[in-house]
Structure 1
């Protein structure tokens, strides 16, 4: 969990967020979260490729690309280590980030669905899932969450999510998800499974716009093979970076001070 300083000082201003004087004085600070790790292996491909390894490899590439454009990037993990979901959220909030991006691979449970289902999904937080697919993805990723907050009927979680729905961070999470998803589909030609909402534990409580990207179905024979290739991982990482850039540019335009209107001179 180390802070990697951006190498291209000349472009720092490109990623400054103008929504506050504090943000305007520094480059964008982004937490990248590679899913799983250690004894939490996540999903597995037909050839034995592990989600925890792919998510870390892609996350490192995302970090490198974001640093190249001047961002400060912090990773929740930089090696194969176990890291509980609450610690990921706690770490992120301590950094006071402008964005949080969690990277995962998806999977299907049966032989028939593993052979058929592939594609990319991008999520932001909601108290209820968009559909059965979103619910299944959240349930799988939340399996590592503490039991006291992992259940569907947790009233505290529902209260937090209800409150969060009214915040600007939640609205910006939606915008960030769409920006990243569009770039991913365009760059990879992957099946577009949409921008969805679901109650992911790792997104709950992050005090910044936050998304979770399912970069593909590692359980699918073809897509699982693609996820193992360095060239494809590079395409994914570049697309995620381009999505982040597009979102930051949108926020900068939105939050830039508007020029004061000058009253027309009175007609004599």
Structure 2
């Protein structure tokens, strides 16, 4: 049952979603939510007929509803079961001049034994080097839909962005966003905590704002996979991510206000 205080919280949260502006009318934060996969790209398989593409879209829609209720200007990279390339997702985000990008996915394991014992939530931000072999494997799976010719070029967007990561504030803020979202997800769902990770995800590489990819659980796990298909569990996931976004924006707004009037918004572009 929704909390009786939710309407009041939504009104208060509106203040977090308004960026600091200088000499211009204030506008709501622009947030792009990316439901992973779609169309013929089904993603990971869960119990029965469950597919990652469906779970990702359902959670993304619930997350959009919560952020819009709090005053956000929210876009989805796909509204239905349609195929959208990774390049198109990046371009769409930048075309919207987004303040935040959140990609929603569900994880999986390849063997029966690993599927039976591997569960939990991971939250990623972009890095040239993966946190470990497991993080690299997740990135490789999600990057399978990336354009091969572009990914193979030395002058690719991924290579260019990664060369400049140390100097980009968007990268620092991506880390802050991940650490704002992840613990709230763990508390809300009581899922196994697989931590905040780093990996070279193609879909995060060209986005010109703080960006994270959330693996909301292992759809291949017998119990966790079933949870991911339930509306009440999806609501917990969406609410936790929304709370993390609002906390991040509030902290960023406070930080940028201290910097002075030259700061034009909640993120550097």
Contact 2:85 2:146 in 1 (8 A): yes
Consecutive unaligned residues in structure 1, runs of 5 or more? 1-7, 260-268
In 1: Cα distance, 2:124 partner to 2:163 partner: 17
**Equivalent position of 2:33 in the other structure:** 32
Structure 2 CA distance for aligned equivalents of residues 119 and 77 of structure 1: 26
Per-residue CA deviations over 1:195-235 (Å, capped at 9, x if unaligned) read: 00000010011000000000000000000000010000000
In the alignment, is residue 14 of structure 1 matched against residue 16 of structure 2?
Answer: yes
Which string of whole-angstrom CA distances, capped at 9 and with x for unpartnered residues, describes residues 121-169 of structure 1? 0000011111111101000000000002335x84643332121331000
SS in 2 for 1:114: helix
User: Aligned pairs, how many?
Assistant: 250
Q: 1:107 to 1:10 in 2, by over 3 A?
A: closer
What's the CA shift for 1:47? 1.9
Q: Secondary structure at the match of 2:82?
A: coil
- Supply the distance in 2 between the matched residues of 1:185 and 1:226 (Cα, whole angstroms): 14
Rounded Cα–Cα distance in structure 2 between residues aligned with 1:254 and 1:137: 33
> What is the CA–CA distance in structure 2 between the aligned matches of 1:22 and 1:30, rounded to whole Å?
22
**Corresponding residue for residue 163 of structure 1:** 164
CA apart distance, 1:10: 8.4
CA positional deviation for 1:25: 1.1
Hey, what does 1:80 align to over in structure 2?
81
The CA RMSD over aligned residues, in Å, is 1.9
Could you say which structure has the larger radius of gyration? 1
C-alpha displacement of 1:258 = 6.3
Match of 2:3 in 1: none
Which residues of structure 2 form unaligned runs of 5+?
1-9, 261-269
Work out whether residues 142 and 150 of structure 1, in 8 Å CA contact, stay in contact via their aligned partners in 2. Answer: no
1:191–1:52 distance in 2 versus 1, CA, 3 Å = same
Please report the TM-score for the alignment, with normalisation by the length of structure 1.
0.89
Secondary structure in 1 matching 2:258? coil
SS in structure 2 at match of 1:257: helix
Change (3 A) 1:174 1:11: closer
Structure 1 segment 1-268 matched on structure 2, within 5 A = 12-18=14-20, 20-21=21-22, 25-151=26-152, 154=154, 156=156, 157-257=158-258
Aligned partners of 2:35, 2:166: CA distance in 1, in Å? 25
- TM normalised by structure 2 equals 0.88
SS at match of 1:52: helix
SS of the residue corresponding to residue 188 of structure 2 reads helix
| 8 Å Cα contact 1:12-1:26 kept in structure 2 | no
How far apart are 1:186 and its partner, in Å? 0.7
